[in-house]
Amino acid sequence: MSPLTQWNFLAVTRKLCINLGTMDWSEPRNFREWARRVIALRPLVLTLLILAVVISELRFDWLEQALGSYLVTTNTKRPESGAIWEIGHRTITARQTLEQLVTGRQSSQREARGASTFTQIASNLPPGQGVMLSSEHFRDLYLTLPQAIAHEIVSPIELLRLFSDGGWIRTYLENEDYGFKIYLLNSENRVLRELRIPSDLLLQIKRVEIALEGSLEDLPTFENRIYPADRFFRAMEALPEEDLRSVISQPERLLSVPGHIVRVGISDEAVSGFIELGFEIEEGTRRKVILLRGREWAVWILRSYLEEKGLELNQTTGEGNET
Amino acid sequence: MATIGAVIRLLRTVFYMTLAVASVGVLMCIGMFFLAVRDLPRVPEPLSRIIETPPTEIYAATGERIMVIGGREAIPLSKVSTQFIQAVLATEDHRFWEHHGVDKLRTLKALWVTLFEPGRIEGASTITQQLSKNLFFSFKRSYMRKFRELLVALQIESQYSKREILETYINQIPMGVGAHGIEQASRTFFGKPALELSLAESALLAGLPKSPTRYNPYLHYDRAKERQRVVLSRMLAVGYITRAQADSASRDELNLRPPPSGARTGSYFLDMVVKSLEERYGPEVVYHGGLRVTTTLDPQLQTWAVESLQEGLARLEKMLGVHEQAGHGIGGEVIRPQGALVAIETNSGAVKAMVGGRNYVETEYNRAVQNNRLPGSGFKPFLYYTAFEKLGLNPATVFVDRPVTIPVAGAQDWAPRNFGLKHEGPMTLKRALIRSVNSVAAQLVERTGPKEVIRTARRCGIKSHLEPVYSLALGTSGISPLEMASAFATFANGGVRHKPFWIWRVEDALGRVLEERIIGGERSLDASIVYQVIDLMRGVVDEGTGAVVRRLGFDLPAAGKTGTTDGYYDAWFTGFTPTLSTSVWVGYDQGEGLRDIQGLGITGGRGAAPIWADFMLKATQGEPPREFAIPPHIRFETVDPITGRAATETTLNPMRVALREGQSLYSTIMEDETSYYSETEASQVEP
């Protein structure tokens, strides 16, 4: 309110109070007096004023507009309640739930698409969830596996057959309690072949893929079967060419590791026709072990060479003896 | 003078009283205003946003949209027929463009009528007030609610244009039969967009909001027409139309679409789909999240399934003389037999059709899934498979149909009876199944033990509780038609079990995949033994208790088994071709057997098999005959159905049986059979 308006308002109020003070508030004694008081200027003005207010309201809806405008100003402070808001909230909750579901699924899918090994997929896929891969991607993952493990999952000939049929389009990998369940699917989502990678096999894949920090003595499975590297490779030389790959299926993997191999351990237990070999690698002051798997029969032949000709071979070793 | 004084005093008293009342009224209004304003709901911005929730759409396997859950789509006023808008305005609020949320004159008039005309209550809510009520308030009647509704209406009027208010109103208005908003209503009732509504149609729809149930044109056509005339007269009075137009529209015949709820494709099936979705994603996601669900339903098969079941039940009613029994039910209501049908694709487990009762509108109880009824002899294939597998028997093995009493530890001996109460002596197992001989089944279960039979049923996918008692062999544990169809599909599929399913794929509103079905079967039964059982069941269809199927013209290779329970409470037929497995059940919901007018019981062959045949004839029309795959090492022999020995030229009704590797005819005569012969021969030589 401006000072001028404020002053006017105070002046009018004062005048009205004076007028009210000078008004005759006593009871009219007769009809004439009563009529005189009623048909006076002030009551008439007052009546007209009231009528004007009522008519203007009927005509211009100013009261509704004033209330409506006031309510608009308080709108943001009021609660989101009522039937339609409840539906709205449910819609928001539903969208959020869906978004979470889709995001989780998409993120697993994205990570799986970028994965280059089975263990990468396994580490990113929550239990009970699955991912869809193309048949080509599955083939690439399969090819990263050591031959022995790959054979355990499915034979390459079988995969070749499925590829050449042209029906195998996609692969669904599901992370279950006991490992991976793999479905090779056609375009109608029908399972052409169901494969499994049990947890222990997944563990082996993981062990093969990573280099363990430490020496062969840290792995009890190699106890009493640790040989100097040169003795081991001399024994390998004694094997026929066709058996070499059965002992070390992926020599490239050993070649790609920095450092040099100092000792080799042979596990004392065979699993599913395979025996684990540990290659201890020295890189500066660090030692690490890389695990590979060899065919049981080929490793046995190699061991016989190592055992029988041990003394002869031992004479040329530069480091360590059989423990 | 004294009189004048009294009048003056009276007037004075009235004046002051009025003043006091008015003051109190004003104060109360102010108080109420502040009281009501405290928790008045917030009005959203923009107003139409809150109406747009994405629908969950359910599609058939063929891509046809079969159901929309929730979800509302707002359309602009420009896409609504002008005549409908005029009809709504004329009927609900003809001074809509003039008032500011409240029609004071109409309110005063309504107040007058309500106060001074006993028995009459007149409403005066404007469109804005109705919108306010529909969006934010319950339908509980109270002055405070009314006042708050009025305040929100005033705010809406101040915040939005008249067009926005009208647009929101026509998009959310409940029109009955599940339709909200004019576009949905127009498509539901007339199968056309709201823009194309004629005057007659507009008037009919504009009359619905007053009471969508009372004026539902499907249920009360005359009432709806009467209401339409009221709307037209209001339009005439307001000046939107001429007398001639009103008369013409009033005379126009309304071309209503068939009612949606009862005729909705696969209502029972859809119930099951929605229930599954709710379990997986929660009700909020299903009703408000906007999913796109592709189901396994084949709408054409579904239509045929409904037709076949309804026609079959009508025939059954005739046999039962149901119409003549009017009055024997509760409150004089006729109790009608019910039925269920489930059809499953054998090589995937996809449910292609499902009917859970005679009429979804009458009862939503899904007998195809929720109703575990005794399968009777329909359970015998599991027993025969078990006997072949565990006892090394084959279809040519001979058993003697004779009175059997099996001692039960701690209970009364079990003495099953044959359907015809007669015994036929020795017969091969194939003949025994074809003729559904109970005494032979009892001997088999005695040898295998009920637990082994249960194991076989479980391998076929039956999950219902099965009581490990001998009578299990005669189907005394309840199973649903869905389970039966699915379990028999395992036979049809050569022993590879597929779990039944009804959802192929679920996506969100943006088409991102949430789940998709992978079809992978699991070998659960031996293929050679399964083939032997199929061969037995083919006999049932070709010449046994299910031969009605052939008489009705179904000539494709098929196998199946009838089932009838004691007292004729249940009649079943479950059968399959190499591609489709279908189970049909008929019976009363409670406590009554199926008996025809002559008092003869209705068996599975009489009650259910004709429905199966009718449906399968339609479902497989145009399909070339396809034989069941014969596994390696199966060979066929023709045998005497009585002795099980190789048939000769003189053998009556020789029977072909399937034998597995290593099985021969003469090594399979059971002990009882030899003793039966020796006894018979002895009695013959005796004088």
Chain B residues lying within 8 Å of A106, measured CB to CB:
512
C-alpha–C-alpha distance, residues B603 and A306, integer Å: 80
The nearest alpha carbon in chain A to B158 belongs to: A68
Q: Which of the two residues, A104 and A1, has the higher pLDDT score?
A: A104
**pLDDT value of position B16:** 82
Give the gap in angstroms from C-alpha B632 to the nearest C-alpha of chain A: 21
**B516: nearest CB among A58, A64, A189:** A189
Binary contact (B285, A185; C-beta < 8 A): no
**B101: nearest CB among A58, A68, A189:** A68
Q: Does residue A318 carry a pLDDT above 50? A: no
Binary contact (B285, A98; C-beta < 8 A): yes
C-alpha–C-alpha distance, residues A123 and B471, integer Å: 52
The nearest alpha carbon in chain B to A174 belongs to: B518
Chain B residues lying within 8 Å of A82, measured CB to CB:
41, 135-137
How many residues comprise chain A? 323
Which ranges of chain A would DSSP assign to H, the alpha helix?
Answer: 3-22, 31-38, 41-60, 62-74, 83-114, 118-124, 135-144, 147-153, 156-165, 199-209, 229-238, 241-247, 251-255, 296-308, 310-314
The CB density around residue A305, as the number of other CB atoms within 10 Å, is 19
Chain B residues lying within 8 Å of A67, measured CB to CB:
33, 151, 154-155
The nearest alpha carbon in chain B to A187 belongs to: B518
The nearest alpha carbon in chain A to B9 belongs to: A27
| Structure-token match 């409840």, residue found | A86
The nearest alpha carbon in chain A to B520 belongs to: A191
Chain B residues lying within 8 Å of A191, measured CB to CB:
518-521
What mean pLDDT, rounded, does chain A reach?
Answer: 81
Give the gap in angstroms from C-alpha A318 to the nearest C-alpha of chain B: 58
Chain B residues lying within 8 Å of A28, measured CB to CB:
8
C-alpha–C-alpha distance, residues B418 and B432, integer Å: 11
**A95: nearest CB among B33, B289, B517:** B289
**In chain B, what is the straight-line distance between the N-terminal and C-terminal CA atoms, in Å?**
145
- Which among B498, B496, B462 is positioned nearest to B349, based on CA atoms? B498
**B288: nearest CB among A34, A76, A90:** A90
Q: Measured between alpha carbons, how far is residue B400 from residues A175, A319, B382, B432, B437 in Å?
A: 53, 84, 20, 9, 10
Chain A residues lying within 8 Å of B135, measured CB to CB:
82-84
Binary contact (A81, B42; C-beta < 8 A): yes
Give the gap in angstroms from C-alpha A31 to the nearest C-alpha of chain B: 6
**A71: nearest CB among B135, B154, B282:** B154
| Structure-token match 């099980």, residue found | B644
Binary contact (A93, B43; C-beta < 8 A): no
DSSP B254: P
- Name the percent of chain A lying above pLDDT 90: 16
The partner residues of B373 in beta bridges, in order of sequence, read: B479
Give the gap in angstroms from C-alpha B514 to the nearest C-alpha of chain A: 6
Catalytic site positions of B: 92, 377
Q: Does residue A143 carry a pLDDT above 90? A: no
Q: What is the pTM of this model?
A: 0.76
**pLDDT value of position A315:** 41
**pLDDT value of position B682:** 39
Q: State how beta strands B398-401 and B425-428 pair.
A: antiparallel
Specify burial of residue B355 (Cβ count, 10 A radius: 0-12, 13-18, 19+). buried
The CB density around residue A258, as the number of other CB atoms within 10 Å, is 9
The nearest alpha carbon in chain A to B282 belongs to: A94
C-alpha–C-alpha distance, residues B201 and B189, integer Å: 9
Mutation target to probe the B interface, by most B beta carbons within 10 A, among A75, A109, A192 is A75
Q: Which of the two residues, A295 and B507, has the higher pLDDT score?
A: B507
Question: DSSP string spanning B480-501?
Answer: -HHHHHHHHHHHHTTTEE---B
**pLDDT value of position B684:** 36
Binary contact (B135, A82; C-beta < 8 A): yes
C-alpha–C-alpha distance, residues A290 and A272, integer Å: 20
**A191: nearest CB among B151, B152, B520:** B520
Binary contact (A31, B4; C-beta < 8 A): yes
**B40: Cβ contacts below 8 Å, ≥ 6 apart:** A71, A74, A78, B148, B151, B152
Give the gap in angstroms from C-alpha B36 to the nearest C-alpha of chain A: 11
Chain B residues lying within 8 Å of A31, measured CB to CB:
4, 8
Give the gap in angstroms from C-alpha B303 to the nearest C-alpha of chain A: 25
Residues B481, B584 contacting (CB under 8 angstroms): yes
Residues A211, A233 contacting (CB under 8 angstroms): no
C-alpha–C-alpha distance, residues A23 and A232, integer Å: 128
C-alpha–C-alpha distance, residues B52 and A259, integer Å: 66
**pLDDT value of position B119:** 73
Binary contact (A183, B1; C-beta < 8 A): no
Count chain A–chain B contacts defined by CB atoms under 8 A: 147
**pLDDT value of position B265:** 59
The nearest alpha carbon in chain A to B283 belongs to: A94
**Range in A51-55, A119-123, B641-645 with the lowest mean pLDDT:** A119-123
| Structure-token match 């009429």, residue found | B359
pLDDT along chain B (687 residues), means of 10: 69 83 89 85 80 84 88 85 95 92 87 79 86 84 84 94 93 85 91 94 94 89 94 95 94 82 68 93 90 95 94 92 58 80 96 92 87 92 96 92 88 86 89 93 94 96 93 93 97 96 94 91 94 96 94 95 92 96 94 87 94 96 92 92 89 91 71 50 36
Chain B residues lying within 8 Å of A101, measured CB to CB:
281, 514
The partner residues of A131 in beta bridges, in order of sequence, read: A173
Which ranges of B472-593 would DSSP assign to H, the alpha helix?
Answer: 481-492, 527-543, 548-551
The partner residues of B561 in beta bridges, in order of sequence, read: B574
Chain B residues lying within 8 Å of A107, measured CB to CB:
none
CA angle B539, B541, B545 (to 5 degrees): 95
The nearest alpha carbon in chain A to B72 belongs to: A87
Helical (H) or strand (E) element with A292: strand A286-295
Encoded tokens for B98: 């003039």
Provide φ and ψ at B152, rounded to 5°.
-65, -35
**B285: nearest CB among A28, A74, A97:** A97
Binary contact (A71, B285; C-beta < 8 A): no
- Read off the pLDDT of residues A78-119 as tens digits, 9 standing for 90 and up: 988 888 888 888 888 998 999 998 988 888 888 888 888 888
Give the gap in angstroms from C-alpha B510 to the nearest C-alpha of chain A: 10
Give the gap in angstroms from C-alpha B68 to the nearest C-alpha of chain A: 16
Which value does ipTM take for this structure? 0.73
The CB density around residue A205, as the number of other CB atoms within 10 Å, is 23
C-alpha–C-alpha distance, residues B452 and A57, integer Å: 89
Mutation target to probe the B interface, by most B beta carbons within 10 A, among A61, A106, A182 is A61
**B518: nearest CB among A101, A105, A189:** A189
Chain B residues lying within 8 Å of A81, measured CB to CB:
39, 41-42, 136
- Which among A197, A162, A161 is positioned nearest to A179, based on CA atoms? A197
